[in-house]
Every structure is written in C-alpha cells, then in structure tokens.
Amino acid sequence: MKFILRLFPEISIKSRPVRNRLIKLLSQNILNVAKHRAMECHVYSQWDKLIVRFGEKEDTSMREAAVRELSRIPGIHSFLEVDEFDFKNFDDIFEHAKVIYGAKLLGKTFAVRVKRRGNHEFTSQQAERIIGGMFKQHFPNNGVDLTHPEITINIEIDSEKAFVITGKHAGIGGYPVGSQGDVLSLISGGFDSGVSTYRAIRRGCRVNYLFFNMGGTAHEIGVKQESYFIWDRFASSHRVKFITIPFEDIVGQILERTHHGVRGVILKRMMMRVGSAVAEKIGAAALVTGESVGQVSSQTLINLSHIDRAASSLILRPLVMEDKQDIIDEATLIGTAGFAENMPEYCGVISDHPNVCPNLSFVEEEEAKMDADLVEKAVAASRFIDIKEIPEDTKRLKTDVEIEAQLKRGEVVLDVRSPDDAAKSPLKLEDNEIVLMPFYKTAKDFSSLDQLKTYVLYCDQGVMSLMQARQLKEMGFHNVKVWRPET
C-alpha cells in the first residue's frame, strides 16, 4: 500500500540544503520505525513530498499499522492513502475510481476533484468534468454537488501515473526526530513531564530520559514504562538512554538540614545541577522540564529564576505558559494520562509552607548546609540503560509485598515518614515496637536492624511505605510488609 506524505509547512519553506537534509532524515526515520515494527517499507523522496510504500500486497492489518505509525512520526503534516496505477485514458482512471468509490456513493451527492502535475492535453478542471460525467452516467441516481458534496472523489494525476485517494490522515507535524540535536528530559511520571517530553520530540529533539529516584521501585517502574511508551510511540527511530539517579541522600539532607520554606526550590536546583552534569556527559544540549509558571510554589517566576541559576545547561520548558487542563488534555491525546493518574503520589519531600519569593542569598545559605560533594556523588551513582531494555528491566524490578490492615503481635513498625511528619503526628502503639527510619534512609540503614524480626512499613498514604518495602525486598530482605490501617 502506498502513501503520499506532505511535509510539515515549516520544513517546506526552508532553503534547499536544509530542506534536503530534513527530508533525508525524515525518510530514514520512517525506515527506522518500520524496522522497529518489523514492517517492510520503501521511501522515495521528492522535492515537496515523500512516497512511502509498505508491504507488497494489500492487507488490512498492515494498512492500519502503517496509518498508525505515519500519524505519529514527527515531520509529517498529513498523508494520503492512494491507489496508484498507470493510465492511458480517462476510462482507465474512471474504472479504478469506480472500484474504490462505487459502494460509498450509494444515495449520496458527489464531486470529482483532480490535482494534476506534468504535461497533459487537458486541464485539471477538464479532467474533473470528464471523469465526473462518467460517474454521473454510471450512477444516474446520485446528484452532483460541487459546493458541499457528501462524497469527494479525489484523484491526482502525475505525468503518466494516476492516484485515486482512498484516505486522508493528519500527521503530528513538527520536525524529524534528530534534526535539532540531543536533549535530556527530566521525567517524573506526572502529567507535565510526559507532555513536555513529547513536545521536545515533536519539535525534532532526540530526547534522552532522566529520572531522580527519591523513593523506590514502584515509582521507577512507572516512570520507565511511561518513558518507553513515549519513545516507542513517537521516537523509536532513534536509540536513546534512560538514566536513573538515586536521590535519597539529597532529599535526606534537604529535609534534615535546610529551612522548610525553601526545600522545594533547593530540590529543583539540585536536580538542575545533577541534570546539567549528566547532560554534559552524554552530549545533550539542553534539559527539558514540565515546569509551568505559577503551577506550584517552586514555579513562581522568582523560584524559576533561582532554579535557572543552578543549571549550567540551557533549560527548555515547553509548557511554561500552558494551563494545567490543557496539559492534561494533551496527555490524554498522546496517551500518557493513564500513567500519570496511576503514578504513586509520594509523600514527604515538599515543605508545608513554601516560600514563593525567597532571597537567592537565603536559598544559597541553606544549600551550603548540605555536603559539598552531593552532586558529584549523585552523578557517579547514575545508572544508564538503553531505552529498548525497559520492558525486560521492569519485569526484573517487579516485587510484590504483603499489605496488612491489622498489626500482629511482635511485628515492628518501621515509620518511614519524614522526621517532620513523624514528629507532628507520632504513632502511638501499645503492643508493637516503633522504629523511626525516614524513607530516604531506609535502603541504607535497614540492614543495621535485627533481621530476625518482621518489619511493617508505615507512612501517611501507604504509597511511600510500599515503594520502600518493594525496594527492600528487591535488595534481598524478605521480612518486610506494609501496614495500611483501616481509617
């Protein structure tokens, strides 16, 4: 089956060499995607369009797959599905068009539209009139309506070839992936960073993914699956990296040493420092985030400007002036909303009374209370995988944990809330021992506990405790459960 692709209009107005480079890249991207999907594909480029052929024979499932893929590859404005044939006269064209449109015409008004290229002895309007007349003769009960036809019979004539257009589809537009260089997207699993990642891909960036892990396996699995989904859908023409960086130590020091009013902005500044170092390491020209002005306390103009100062890389914020509802709608459209809805909302890091316009000097003073080598250590602990490995990798990470509503005698409750939260509403239990071990210390300090006992992890929402319990199990500790008291 054959498709004629129209280029994204911004590509069409480029100079000849730029346009040629973009067309070449788009052709290669289409071939790469087809290879990833194990589809046979050939691409022929012309000055203003690409011709793409999938498979040799007509096949409905192959056709659907081809339409699906072409509607997701950046750089394609729209595409036509065509039946192509050699023609000698108008009878040849009519016979082909009749096979395609005949059944659809029943009881409907119609018009024939012809686009023509090359040298012919007739104009497009004359061709429309002649072929239209043949249809009218063959389907005398159907009315011709040139202004608002129910069915439009679209035909293109190019030298001695003719195409009957059997379908029209919208592409996602944008620039071919890879045309704008490499970036590193900070992805958290929420609505915003999924959409900002997609926007960067659509604009032609080759997007690598960076996740700061602050609380365990469940979050990491969710973010990896979302990243794989975005890559597989819109950018599988290029191999990219998914990078995980353990952030528990940084979160721990923020919570233990800095003023609660600036914890959110310090956390983001640390992300930018570590992100910039990783970007430099992999040769990415910019960081991409899902931040948007005013959305949360760390996204006031003042705080965004403090965040910018901590980065040595360019920061791209594709959503900076978008409304939240529009972002959620776009996430629904591209398919990432489901991930965001199910992502564990993890408790504990952001402060209760954030300062929306702190002095930079105050933020810097507070940061100076943390160890100076935190960034270096975080970068050194980064784990890189090829994004293609995610499906296998997440299978390995899945670990299930028993959740109980009633504590049993002898079980030790491990309170993994942040010190502030634990102090504000301390647990009061008569029959069970309680150990305070905030979530950012659990992985490191758990082995120092008596391993003959059973530990039941607790936090306010039961999400962080589950993430930590999974991580402990994955580390080989089997004496862990989660306590979610009935409310």
Ligand X SMILES: Nc1ncnc2c1ncn2[C@@H]1O[C@H](COP(=O)(O)OP(=O)(O)OP(=O)(O)O)[C@@H](O)[C@H]1O
Residue positions annotated with a catalytic role: 459
Closest distance of CB 253 from ligand X, Å: 16
List 242's β-bridge partners, or say none. Answer: 209, 385
Considering only residues 164 through 223, tell me which ones interact with ligand X, judged by CB under 6 A.
186-188, 190-193, 210-212, 214
* 483 CB-near residues (< 8 Å, 6+ apart): 403, 404, 405, 407, 413, 456, 457, 458, 465
Q: Is 290 annotated as a binding residue?
A: yes
- C-beta atoms surrounding 367 within 10 Å: 21
Q: Is 125 annotated as a binding residue?
A: no
For the record, the structure tokens of 109 come out as: 């008004």
Report the candidate in 433, 441, 448, 443 with the shortest Cα–Cα distance to residue 470: 443
What 3-state DSSP class applies to 443? Answer: helix
Q: Is 403 annotated as a binding residue?
A: no
Pick the closer one to ligand X by CB: 32 or 298. 298
Binding of ligand X by 131 (CB under 6 A): no
Do the beta carbons of residue 248 and residue 215 sit within 8 Å?
Answer: yes
Q: Is 187 annotated as a binding residue?
A: yes
Buried b (16+ CB within 10 A) or exposed e, 418-439: beebbeeeeeeeeeeeeeebbb
Closest distance of CB 194 from ligand X, Å: 7
Closest distance of CB 258 from ligand X, Å: 17
Q: From the list 298, 313, 355, 465, which residue makes contact with ligand X (rule: CB under 6 A)? A: 298
Closest distance of CB 270 from ligand X, Å: 11
The H or E element spanning position 206 is strand 206-213
Q: Is 268 annotated as a binding residue?
A: yes
Pick the closer one to ligand X by CB: 187 or 379. 187
Query: What x/- string results for residues 267 through 296 when contact with ligand X is judged by CB under 6 A?
Result: ----x-----------------xxx---xx
Closest distance of CB 214 from ligand X, Å: 6
* Amino acid (1-letter code) at residue 158: D
Query: What x/- string results for residues 221 through 260 when contact with ligand X is judged by CB under 6 A?
Result: ----------------------------------------
Pick the closer one to ligand X by CB: 27 or 336. 336
Pick the closer one to ligand X by CB: 343 or 459. 343
Q: Whole-angstrom Cα distance, residue 385 to residue 173?
A: 29
- The C-alpha angle with vertex 262 and arms to 316 and 195, in degrees rounded to 5, equals 30
- Output the 3-class SS for 99-154: HHHHHHHCCCCEEEEEEEECCCCCCHHHHHHHHHHHHHHHCCCCCECCCCCCEEEE
Output the residue with the shortest Cβ distance to ligand X: 190
Q: Which residues are annotated as a binding site for ATP?
A: 186-187, 268, 290, 299
Q: Which residues are annotated as a binding site?
A: 186-187, 268, 290, 299
Q: By the criterion CB under 6 A, which residues form the site for ligand X?
A: 186-188, 190-193, 210-212, 214, 271, 289-291, 295-296, 298
